[in-house]
Homo-oligomer: A and B are copies of this chain.
């Protein structure tokens, strides 16, 4: 079994900012993809904002099992139609891993239905990521906690829906806390948000972070066939009811065979 994973990178800071380029000379997406490819089950490729359709054509997405998303400065430049396309694929069963500043990406806000806001501070302080359930598939192989020496603080309140599972909670040197690993399901798609990953620190080279991402891709992978038509509201007419045929009673709005309203 091979999991086809696409790492999407905004690829802006790497081009514009010397600090970021120094750390990620080939782009953050490339580094993240290399980390994933350490796992023999994962086949990782990349896509960026600058490519046609942001590298996320209908065909590409149809052949993607898990999408990893890193964006920050250019959230607003992501085309709304592509966002809807990605959302549809998540509902059909594609996994989605949203990283760090992706909390404010269009796709994450679209799937959460909440502001997804938080507190932040860029001071290179220490972060200690505590593992809530060490036997959760996303935490396999970790100890009680791991540390990131320099990080951007992301603090509560994180205005997301109550998660399916809280996998990680972070302690910060400056005094804040953050639910740094959260799982959701949207339609048939598994969604994981993971907060570490600020672009001015070499976080995606960290062994624990790479382990979390590899685990998360495997957790998010759903081998079932895509749930085609999940957004459709099919009519089951009276003569085809499970207990049918039914006698039609009372008034009607729709003519037989007519589509529902949207």
Separation of A231 and B101 alpha carbons in the complex (Å): 15
**CB-based contact B104/A262 at 8 Å:** yes
**CB-based contact B157/A19 at 8 Å:** no
- What does the 1/0 interface line of A45-86 toward B look like (CB < 8 Å)? 000000000000000000000000000111110000000000
Stretch binding the partner chain, chosen from A35-43, A108-116, A206-214? A108-116
A67 → chain B, closest Cβ, in Å?
A: 16
Separation of A133 and B260 alpha carbons in the complex (Å): 22
List, sorted by A's number, 23 A–B pairs whose CB atoms are closer than 8 Å.
A17-B253, A20-B253, A72-B261, A91-B159, A120-B260, A121-B246, A123-B238, A132-B158, A133-B188, A134-B224, A135-B222, A135-B224, A135-B227, A153-B241, A161-B186, A164-B164, A166-B179, A170-B177, A171-B176, A174-B238, A175-B241, A200-B252, A201-B250
Separation of A104 and B120 alpha carbons in the complex (Å): 35
**CB-based contact B187/A159 at 8 Å:** yes
A residues lining the B interface (CB < 8 Å)? 13, 17, 19-20, 23, 72-76, 87, 91, 93, 101, 104, 110-115, 117-125, 128, 130-137, 140, 144-145, 150, 153, 155-159, 161-162, 164-166, 169-177, 179, 184-188, 198-201, 222-224, 227, 230-238, 241-244, 246-254, 260-262
**CB-based contact A121/B241 at 8 Å:** yes
Beyond A73-B261, A123-B249, A134-B224: 6 further Cβ-contacts under 8 Å? Answer: A134-B188, A161-B186, A166-B166, A169-B177, A175-B242, A175-B244
